Structure 1
Amino acid sequence: MSLTFSAVLFDVDGTIVNSAPVIMGAFRSTLSDFGLEIPDDQRLRTYVGPPLWYSFGDLGYSGQLRADLVSRYRERYMDHYLDPEPFDGVRDLLWDLHHAGVPLATATSKQTPMAIAQMEHLGLADAFDVIAGATPDPGSSKTTVIHEAVARLGAMGADVSHPVIVGDSIWDVRGGHEVGIPVIGVGWGYATEDGLDDAEVVCETVEDLRALLMPAGC
């Protein structure tokens, strides 16, 4: 694996911010609103990161009910999505990469307006050249978001010859590989037991990630 990357994409939930409590709470509230069974916390944690359409489908819901659940979840999530804080050290890493001239983008399954608002709320919006997120379309996936992020960076003139995505879940791994870029997994997020097995490398700490991403001499 090359240790020189021309651009870096970051997943948000579980990679930049510790959002599991908010996301799991939104799932509980949504399912409760519809009088549906609420899974245990272990299962709910697996839905931190995947597209909502997948998550509610995985819970066994389809058709109009799934669409209604997705819509209600978004209403519930809107009340608290700005609450999560960055993991220790991540904020400084993002700014240091930005000041070193590394092109940065988000690649998140949350919808783009929410991703923009969250990065602005955290004071991180200006660290990124591109803030890319999902669309309401059920066909929107981590793969389509990654593709968009790389395309938008390239359109700005950034060097996208050797991009990499940093993420905490199997969705980041699959999405990155489907687009044809390597994946750095992070150990502080919400990966399932084998979720990062196919990542090119896994960094257990932010300092490990810094050592991989910072350009030589910075």
Structure 2
Amino acid sequence: MICVIFDLDGTLTDSREGILKSIKYALEKMEQPIPDEKTLQLFIGPPLTDSFRDHCHMTEEQIEEAYGYFKERYDATGKYENAVYPQIEAALQALRKTGAYVGIATAKPEEQAKDIIKHFKLDQYFEVIRGANRDIGLIHKEDILREALQDMNTITAQKYKISRWYMVGDRKYDMEAAKLHNCVAMGVSYGYGSVEELEAAGADYICENPSDLIVNIAVDTLL
């Protein structure tokens, strides 16, 4: 039996519009300069607090203020300025037909992730949805993936032993977390990271679209 864990932003959904508009909203509220579009793209993937620190050179106090403004807009509007990538639902259906267990590990706050998945009526495909929880220090992808894998092991322990684990994502953080936790690292090039970024982070496979993902998993299980 296999288990496939997905990233959310840039992998299942194209959330660029809502995230970037909410970042700009936060910076405007604070009268902070807005980075150029190329730099703003780098905010998508890693924890937002890290991005405010790295790209806006904020103090910890400013980061908390910016995060609060971001959340104000994103919770109300931004999380729905979003779209499921073409072929994603078909790919999820194909995985479930094989009996695979499927989950999510995202650096997005967990409640936001669950709201988005439910909004798009994709919740039926996932046993586990794990996201960030700043209250308990659960922020970075490697820690979130660890929790998702533990949750999945708990669910499946009485039925099946997982023989192969996959982590699917569009950024280096996903590939690095996959390697750390002995998952097959499946990169997707239709998201926010480049092929070069994914390869440098150790991706075992790179998929141009969700259909490629199903083909590559099928091939990998036969090796």
What is the TM-score of this pair, normalised by structure 1? 0.91
Range 181-190 or range 91-100, more displaced:
91-100
Q: Relative to 1, partners in 2 of residues 1:134 and 1:209: Cα closer, same or farther, differing over 3 Å?
A: same
- Separation of aligned partners in 1, 2:217 and 2:92: 10
The answer to whether the 8 Å contact 1:108/1:133 transfers is yes
CA distances 1:163-212 after superposition (whole Å, capped 9, x unpaired): 11000001111222222322110010000463202211111122211202
The residue matched to 2:167 in structure 1 has which SS? strand
Partner in structure 1 of residue 6 of structure 2: 10
- Separation of aligned partners in 2, 1:15 and 1:61: 28
Partner in structure 1 of residue 211 of structure 2: 207
Partner in structure 2 of residue 142 of structure 1: 141
Partner in structure 1 of residue 37 of structure 2: 41
Q: Relative to 1, partners in 2 of residues 1:159 and 1:40: Cα closer, same or farther, differing over 3 Å?
A: farther
Partner in structure 2 of residue 129 of structure 1: 127
| 1:25 to 2:27 alignment | no
| 1:169 to 2:152 alignment | no
- Structure 1 letter corresponding to 2:32: L
Alignment of 1:52-71 (within 5 A): 52-59=48-55, 60-71=57-68
Alignment of 1:100-139 (within 5 A): 100-137=98-135, 139=138
Q: Percent identity?
A: 26
- Structure 1 letter corresponding to 2:71: R
Q: In angstroms, what is the RMSD of aligned CA positions? A: 1.9
Range 192-201 or range 106-115, more displaced:
192-201
- Separation of aligned partners in 1, 2:169 and 2:195: 15
The answer to whether the 8 Å contact 1:97/1:214 transfers is no
The answer to whether the 8 Å contact 1:150/1:160 transfers is no
CA distances 1:12-41 after superposition (whole Å, capped 9, x unpaired): 100000111111111111111100010111
Range 167-176 or range 191-200, more displaced:
191-200
- Separation of aligned partners in 2, 1:213 and 1:200: 11
- Separation of aligned partners in 1, 2:140 and 2:4: 19
- Structure 2 letter corresponding to 1:169: R
The residue matched to 2:106 in structure 1 has which SS? strand
The answer to whether the 8 Å contact 2:105/2:130 transfers is yes
The residue matched to 2:196 in structure 1 has which SS? coil
Number of residue-to-residue matches in the alignment? 213
The residue matched to 2:161 in structure 1 has which SS? coil
| 1:95 to 2:99 alignment | no
The residue matched to 1:188 in structure 2 has which SS? coil
- Separation of aligned partners in 2, 1:69 and 1:36: 10
CA distances 1:109-157 after superposition (whole Å, capped 9, x unpaired): 1111111111111111010011111112455210111001110000001
Partner in structure 2 of residue 73 of structure 1: 70
How far 1:72 moved relative to its partner?
1.6
* Structure 1: tracts of 5 or more residues without a match: none
